[in-house]
Amino acid sequence: MTTPIPNPNHSNSQIPTLPQSLYYYPTFLPPSTTTTLLQKVLSTPKPKWTQLSHRRLQSYPTSLTRTTNTLLTSDPLPAWLTDPIIPRMQELNIWTGAPHGAPNHVLVNEYLAGQGILPHEDGGAYWPVVGTVSLGGVVVLDVYEKREGEGEGGVGERVGRVLLEDGSLLVTMGDMYTSYLHGIAEVTVDEDLGPETIANWGLLGDKERFKSGRSERGTRISLTYRDVLKVVKVGGGFLRK
């Protein structure tokens, strides 16, 4: 499989000092859209959520099969997750070269203040691009080296920190997708924020907001867009929930 080529037109959005390639778009969605999306996600009935130990999760249109990582469904993504987000991503050429030319799977994460996600990689079920839309609370995403040859989950040195603002889009591809890990610490305050410590400081939409160097966590939703490589369409309404 060939690796997607970062679009040189977007070099202004590329996060410096980190391995390639992470792109940050601070005001990808206007506040009116983030508010509507946040309400939509937070009003989802409880059975649609999977409660994990450190966050809640929804999978659209459904979760992947456990053994073969296949998207087995006849349902498209719901309109509230596609418009206007996917056309805007396509304008940025994020899915150019992807097997389906657009994301076909969205994992929606909810983190309460103090919750996070352990360092991990997103793996081979997907085309190696993730588009992450952040809604609500601000968090710092940590990037780590991956320690090969130490079995599963070898977490190396932290190589950088990225601040994710409400309405922003983070695009992860290339080496950042395949050779590094990412995680969110379980803290109620992100501290030590500044131009020396936050890799995307120069790209932030509202640096003033973080000039105290601290940011209190609030409830955050992330919409993570992916293109699943293996898709099997099922007809006739079988396997529907």
Peptide bond into 84 cis (omega under 30): yes
Dihedrals φ, ψ of 138, to 5°? -90, 140
21 binds ligand AKG (CB under 6 A): no
161: partner contacted, choices Fe ion, ligand AKG, none (Cβ within 5-8 A by kind): none
Near ligand AKG in 88-117, by CB under 6 A = 107, 109, 117
Q: Which does 168 bind (CB under 5 to 8 A by kind): ligand AKG, Fe ion, none?
A: none
Angle at 130 between CA 145 and CA 177, to 5 degrees: 25
Judged by CB under 5 A, the chain residues 100 through 159 that form the site for Fe ion are 122
By CB under 6 A, residue 182 contacts ligand AKG = yes
Q: Which of residues 149-178 bind ligand AKG (CB under 6 A)?
A: none
What is the C-alpha separation between 129 and 119, in angstroms, rounded?
17
Number of residues engaging ligand AKG in binding (CB under 6 A): 9
Q: Does position 222 bind ligand AKG by CB under 6 A?
A: yes
Q: Choose between 74 and 158: whose C-beta lies nearer to ligand AKG.
A: 158
Q: Is 199 in the site for ligand AKG (CB under 6 A)?
A: no
Alpha-carbon Rg for the chain, nearest whole angstrom, is: 17
CB 58 within 8 A of CB 107: yes
CA distances from 16 to 128, 170, 198, 202, 219 (A): 20, 13, 10, 9, 28
Joined tokens for residue 31: 């506040």
Q: Which is nearer to ligand AKG, 141 or 173 (CB)?
A: 141
Residues that bind ligand AKG in the complex, under the rule CB under 6 A: 107, 109, 117, 122, 132, 141, 182, 222, 224
Site residues, Fe ion (CB under 5 A): 122
